[in-house]
Amino acid sequence: MATVDNLLKRNVPISNSESRCALCQMQLEDANHIFLSCIMSAGIWNELLRWLGKQSALHSNAIVHSSAFTNIGNKKDGQFLAGVWMCTVWCIWKGRNEVRFNHGKWAQDKMVAEIKSRLWSWKQAYNLRIPTEDFRAWFAAANLEESGAERN
């Protein structure tokens, strides 16, 4: 992954202004920071937890974070939550690249909406059973425990 910390390890010249996180401009850019602990991406994780009706203290290490996130629901929700985690990381990476390379703007509400929309479109590929077939109701709140939906 071409984060600044990896480029620096390979002796790629990076200016001081380019070495900071493209999203918050506060810390050296590394994968754990971009995806998990940056204030911009942490806001997305918190919004997704609210949407899912869950609470959790998520770690700043990707492996621990992924495990904690996929285990916030009951056992049958694990596959769905893993899909949410993967989709979120992918969307954050795309958003970071847009900011870094195309001078794009970071908008948390648009990012969360993109994650929800992509999850809906990925449901067939991941064989995810969404709690309702009504996209608008699901988009508003996933409500995993209340749905009683079974997931493979």
Per-residue pLDDT tens digits for 89-124:
999 999 998 998 888 999 999 999 999 988 888 876
Asked whether residue 106 is domain-assigned, the answer is yes
User: Residue for token digits 């492996």?
Assistant: 63
Run of H or E residues at 7? helix 4-9
Mean pLDDT computed over 29-52: 92
Greater pLDDT, 135 or 26: 26
> What are phi and psi for residue 70, nearest 5 degrees?
-75, -10
Residues 115, 91 contacting (CB under 8 angstroms): yes
Asked whether residue 29 is domain-assigned, the answer is no
Asked whether residue 102 is domain-assigned, the answer is yes
Asked whether residue 5 is domain-assigned, the answer is no
Give the CA radius of gyration of the chain: 16
Summarised one tens digit per residue, pLDDT across range 119-146 is: 888 876 766 666 666 778 777 777 565 4
Asked whether residue 21 is domain-assigned, the answer is no
Question: In the numeric block, which tokens belong to residue 34?
Answer: 């971009």
Question: The domain containing residue 132 runs over which residues?
Answer: 42-147
Asked whether residue 20 is domain-assigned, the answer is no
Run of H or E residues at 70? helix 62-70
Percent of the chain with pLDDT over 70: 75
Q: Above 70 in pLDDT, residue 40?
A: yes
CA distance 55 to 49: 6
Q: Kindly report the pTM of this predicted structure.
A: 0.80
CA distance 116 to 48: 9
Q: How many domains does the chain have?
A: 1
Asked whether residue 32 is domain-assigned, the answer is no
